[in-house]
Structure 1
């Protein structure tokens, strides 16, 4: 087992040397791929949903009889709590991808009887706990990480709505 571990270490060092010194033109292209190759560790991620949370943003308030053109550029990203930097990318890979909302739209005020119309955007997130089991490929030693995740909901990650007020 120790001979295999030493051989694997020598191979990893050789690859790093080749990419950084012998073939530097490939180093930049391969940098992101090498970090995701997980040469030393293997990871197992499990997640458990607990609830849906929301973040509502008021986009505009338009008075009765008026109209406005607004540009909107919002994004719902993954949020992690209690996550060490060394496993952030591993956890993010197992979660829903960020969701973007971009639009340029005409917003109108309400019908008579109301003073203004407020426009809102609600970001829906699925909240839960994750567990990451990290195993060292050479020694077999395991380490467990736990934390909280918020990922954009798969159904209606971003909802636009309005409400007329007096």
Structure 2
């Protein structure tokens, strides 16, 4: 087990405490920097894929013979269920990053024989479960957290498609 000098931990806590009274606007930044150093805890994260889920959004409907130009801005984000705030950053750091679809698109109506064309975007997510084991670097005490995650799918996180309707 790696030992961390107790004086370093006490100094970090003292700096945060003093700044919270003297300069409160800096206290939060220093506190976050200290916690991001992971002085007190180490983390082990395990993911298990369950299934792929999707969310489809209709972005436009264009009638026969018409053309429409449109800005399309869609984002897929990581979503967590049953996750305490103190480990959300650790879990998110082990998942796929958010994806963005930002395009200016020209959408055209359908061929003759159809009335309109509907345009869609489908966001694909990988759903799974995670387990985090948090270990106190000083005492060696472990705590386990578990929950469900949705992350942008590694393959085809966002798919654009259309359907012609009569």
Partner in structure 2 of residue 85 of structure 1: 85
Alignment of 1:1-166 (within 5 A): 6-14=6-14, 16=16, 32-166=32-166
Deviation, 1:21, is: 8.4
- String of CA shifts for 1:1-57, please: whole Å, max 9, x gaps: xxx774454343355468778999986765543332122111111101111111100
Unpaired stretches in structure 1, ≥5 consecutive residues: none
**Would you identify which runs of 4 or more consecutive aligned residues in structure 1 move more than 6 Å?**
17-29
RMSD (Å) for aligned C-alpha atoms: 2.5
CA distance, structure 2, for counterparts of residue 29 and residue 13 of structure 1: 13
Q: Are the structure 2 counterparts of residues 27 and 89 from structure 1 closer, same or farther at C-alpha, using a change threshold of 3 Å?
A: same
- String of CA shifts for 1:38-88, please: whole Å, max 9, x gaps: 221111111011111111000000011111111110000000011011111
Contact 2:16/2:30, CA 8 A, preserved across alignment: no
TM-score (norm 2): 0.86
Q: Are the structure 2 counterparts of residues 25 and 82 from structure 1 closer, same or farther at C-alpha, using a change threshold of 3 Å?
A: closer
CA distance, structure 1, for counterparts of residue 12 and residue 158 of structure 2: 44
- Does 22-31 or 5-14 show the bigger shift? 22-31
Q: Are the structure 2 counterparts of residues 82 and 24 from structure 1 closer, same or farther at C-alpha, using a change threshold of 3 Å?
A: closer
Unpaired stretches in structure 2, ≥5 consecutive residues: none
Secondary structure, aligned partner of 2:154: coil
Secondary structure, aligned partner of 2:39: coil
How many matched pairs?
164
Deviation, 1:138, is: 1.8
CA distance, structure 1, for counterparts of residue 117 and residue 153 of structure 2: 27
